[in-house]
Each structure stands twice: as C-alpha cells, then as structure tokens.
Amino acid sequence: MKPAPFAWERPGGLAALLARLAGAPGNVKLIAGAQSLGPMLNLRLVEPDLILDITGVPEFRIARVEGDTLVLGACVTHADIEDGRVPDLTRGALRRVAAAIAYRPVRNRGTIGGSLVHADPAADWVSALTALGAEVELAGPDGRRTLPVERFVTGPLTVALGPGEILVTVRIPALPAGAAWGYVKHCAKIGEFAHAIGAVRLEPGAGRGRAVIGAVEGPPVLLADARPLFGGRIGTDFAERFDASAADAVLRAAGMADAVERHVHVTVLARAVAQAAEPAPVHLPEAA
C-alpha cells in the first residue's frame, strides 16, 4: 500500500505549471487534494514518473461572482463550499451537495476541479454540475477555452482535456428565482461512492428544465430538455406529472439493460423530483 517512486514538483504559478506540463518527459500526473488519485497511487494502480502538485497556484484558490455566474478555482474544496466560504448563487444547492461528499477529512482536502477531472461516474460533482449547467474553463498551450461539463466528461474516468491542458475554473450559473432543484444519491453506506444519482434543475415559470441520471456506467445521462419526463410540459405541477416510464425508456435507450438497475436509478430520480417540489429544510442533510 505504498506508491511507486515518483518525482514531485509544486509550481508556484499557472504559467510555470503550464510550461512544466508541456515540457516534462515521462508520465506526468497533476494532483490537487489527492483524495481520488491518492488511493490509486497507494494501490499502485497509477505509477507516474512525475507529479505536479497544483495547490500552490494562487489562481486555483479563488472564488468570485461574475454577474450571474459563480466562478470557483479548481482547488476550492468541498468543505469550502459546505462551510459557505464561497459565495452562493444556488440557494444552498451547492452546499448541500458538498456537505454529503465522502467524509469531512476528505472534504477538507478534496477539490471540485480534481473531482471533475478524475471523472468517476459516481462522483457527486460530475452529476450535480452537469444538472446545474456548469462550465469548465481550461488553459493549455493554445490558450483558454470553455466547455459545458457534459462535453468535458466524455466517459468513465475520461475527460476532454487536450495534451498540456488543465482545468482552471468551474463556472456555475445562478439558480434563478422560481427555479426548483433536487439532488438525491443512493449509497448503501454513508460516504461511499453512489450507486445511483438523480438531479433536476427545473424552471416551471419558463417551462424548461434539465435532468441528470448519474452513477451510471459512462458519463451522466443528461436530459438537457427534461420535458419528456413530465409528459411534455414542465409547469408548477411537475411533481405530479413525473413519468417514471419515460425515465426508464431514457435509461433503456442509454444501454442500461438491467431492469433492477434501471428501477433503482428511476426511483432515485423520482426522489430528486419530489425534493425539488418540496425543498429540503435549510439545515444541511448530512452535516458530517
């Protein structure tokens, strides 16, 4: 349970990090809080020659509001969000997701950017940020670009980073007034990776919404237009209109062959819809 030897460098700025990433020979892996990569290193499933520790880069440790968008640096931790050390434009939605990730010692070091880049299909941010319509800002040798999370996470543990490219910030749009949010995950033991995730971000006033079924085999199943789940129309009565058979059909089309697995995912999504209709009390559900 000890990692294979690796070199360790900790650049003090973004330019130095990008230059080192472009020039370093051998297998290079970036590390932030090490809460996902650490176990893989200890198990020697990953054996890089060089690890670049990105937590010294000031640009990754910021949070700011740009208009209707919350911008979080890649190294903002789950605990930073849980504790309210970053602004909140989602009426507590982000805080509730963050507070239920793994365990407090993990949340104190695990980062939002690291979680997205690691792209475990069962990770909370992969599904939650897809449902919230968040984007990631990437920096690389050819400059910067922005991608929606659903185009960034392309498969299990697989993202759309090009060679020499890194995730700099996560951009999360505000939850508008009147919008409903529900996020439910199913774990057999608290803190473990989820077996099923359901997330909905619905705007009954505007008649639109997004839904995500996560912790599936590949990237989260996103319905950017969730109306088919609600009989074709999203209104204030969306909870009554939720159609479990439509969700089942979506999963079937996505290749989920096992009926029990589909049932679990559809049930969890239904609970997310119910939560969106009757938002949870203000206190954090899992303030571990």
Partner 1 sequence: MSAALAEPRSGRLVLPLTVNGRALRVEAEPRSHLGDLLRDGLDLTGTHLGCEHGVCGVCTVLLDGEPARACLTFAGACAGASITTIEGLDTDEIAGELRAAFNRAHALQCGYCTPGMLIAARDLVLRLPEADERRIRVGLSGNLCRCTGYAGIVRAVMAVIGERRGRGIGPETGAARALGPVGARIGETIVAPLQPATAPLTPVTPAAVADLTASFVPAHSFAQGLDLAHPPEAVFALLGDIEAVAACLPGAVLTARPTPDTVEGGLQVRIGPIAATFRGRARIARDAAARSGSVHGAGSDAGGRSATEGRIRYRVEAGPTPDTARVELEVGYTLTGPLAQFGRPGLVRDLAGRIAADFSRNLDARLSGTAAPASTGLNPLRLLLGLVRARLTAWLGRA
**Binding to partner 1, residues 259-288 (CB under 8 A):** 286-288
* Shortest Å distance, C-beta 236 to partner 1: 32
* Shortest Å distance, C-beta 23 to partner 1: 12
Indicate which single residue of 110, 198, 204, 220 sits in contact with partner 1 (rule: CB under 8 A): 110
* Shortest Å distance, C-beta 179 to partner 1: 26
State which H helix or E strand residue 273 sits in: helix 259-277
CB under 8 A: which stretch of 127-135, 176-184, 185-193, 244-252 binds partner 1?
185-193
> Which residues from 79-108 bind partner 1, rule CB under 8 A?
79-80, 83-86, 102-106, 108
Q: What is the DSSP string of 218-260?
A: SS-EEESS-GGGGTT---TTHHHH--HHHHHHHHHHTT---HH
CB under 8 A: which stretch of 116-124, 172-180, 224-232, 268-276 binds partner 1?
116-124
> Which residues from 36-65 bind partner 1, rule CB under 8 A?
37-51, 53, 55-58, 60-63
- C-beta pairs of 84-89 under 8 Å, 24+ apart in sequence: 87/63, 89/65, 89/172, 89/173, 89/174, 89/175
Residue 23 is encoded by which pair of tokens? 């020039």
Residue 165 and residue 138 in contact, taking contact as beta carbons nearer than 8 Å: yes
* Shortest Å distance, C-beta 254 to partner 1: 11
Interaction mask 121-160, partner 1, x per CB under 8 A: x---------------------------------xxxxx-
CA atoms within 13 A on the CB side of 100: 23
d(CA 164, CA 79): 29
Other C-beta atoms closer than 10 Å to the C-beta of 170 total: 26
CB under 8 A: which stretch of 88-96, 211-219, 240-248, 274-282 binds partner 1?
211-219
Spell out the residues 6+ positions from residue 227 whose beta carbon is closer than 8 angstroms to its own.
Answer: 207, 208, 209, 233, 234
* Shortest Å distance, C-beta 199 to partner 1: 19
Please tell me whether residue 232 binds partner 1 under the rule CB under 8 A. Answer: no
d(CA 193, CA 211): 20
* Shortest Å distance, C-beta 214 to partner 1: 12
Distances (CA, A) of 165 to 48, 49, 56, 241: 17, 18, 17, 43
CB under 8 A: which stretch of 23-31, 205-213, 243-251, 270-278 binds partner 1?
23-31
Q: 217 or 240, CB closer to partner 1?
A: 217
